Chain A
């Protein structure tokens, strides 16, 4: 088993009101010096079998067609190191 992580973020030019709400709450909590917050989604996929190039390509297709809407979001796909080390 190995883990592949897909991170999905709104494209930079798209307004993120949730991130803004978080950013505005920070000074009240005593956190100063954070000028911007963007909120995204993280998917952890537990993969049966080896994460070879073919598996990564399939996950890339899945991320592009389903996990992210590329009209409004960007995504990255990576194999998680910790899962690799624990194997």
Chain B
């Protein structure tokens, strides 16, 4: 018995295959989901992957948020189903108000693609339990709209409740407030981040490190032991 983890493909998604592969490498069963289907095929968790859904028209994630599949994802996430948003997926989660704050263009106005050092700030979520708090990891980062913004009260709340899940180290690559790379909801089942853990699960490719694999082993353990 393993866990079934869905990966949604929107028009313009880029990393759905890599994400499904990462899920398989971790030992879970990836399930392809389609943006027009309300049906989640009885998955135990969902990953919203990177890319440029609907061309990032209007705002990154703004149109994807109203797709049929998201109606179900939003309902299920509110009911406790684990959801991970990576890059464009993070943008969709903020547009859907499953996570607070918003995403805007990088402060330097350029696309960025780099190997990014992060600190794991919260290792108690459904997606980060296989890390230890304070652990420093390297994860590829590639985005245009990676600047996390929120009002002061929201930032204070996130900091006070330990809901900043990942923070940029050494360099703030996009002007994100408080160096925020990723956050979690209060319940810990919905997590979003800009860097791409699915690109760092095999030593042969990418950074040569597997620092992203614990995302997928964390959720597998949680679902299998649940």
Contact = CB atoms under 8 A, between A and B. Distances in A.
Given A13-B151, A14-B149, A71 B100 contact: yes
A71 B102 contact: yes
Chain A interface size range: 10 to 19
Nearest to B108: A17
Chain A CB within 10 Å — which of B102, B106, B109, B147 has the most?
A: B102
A67 interface: yes
Interface stretch (B19-27, B31-39, B58-66): B58-66
A17 B175 CA distance: 10
A62 to B, nearest CB: 11
Interface of B, helix, strand, loop or mixed by DSSP:
loop
Contacts, number: 34
Interface string A4-26: 00000010011101100100000
A20 to B, nearest CB: 9
Nearest to A14: B149
Interface in B105-162: 105-109, 147, 149-151
Given A69-B62, A71-B101, A17 B149 contact: no
Interface in B56-80: 58-59, 62, 66
A55 interface: no
Nearest to A13: B151
Interface in A34-87: 66-67, 69, 71-72
A72 B101 CA distance: 8
Given A69-B95, A72-B102, A17 B107 contact: yes
Chain B CB within 10 Å — which of A13, A18, A72 has the most?
A: A72
B175 A21 contact: no
B169 interface: no
B94 interface: yes
Contacts of A10: 104
A18 B109 CA distance: 7
B59 A69 contact: yes
A71 B148 CA distance: 12
A24 to B, nearest CB: 12
Interface of A: 10, 13-15, 17-18, 21, 66-67, 69, 71-72
13 contacts: A10-B104, A13-B151, A17-B105, A17-B108, A17-B175, A18-B105, A66-B58, A69-B59, A69-B95, A71-B94, A71-B97, A72-B102, A72-B104
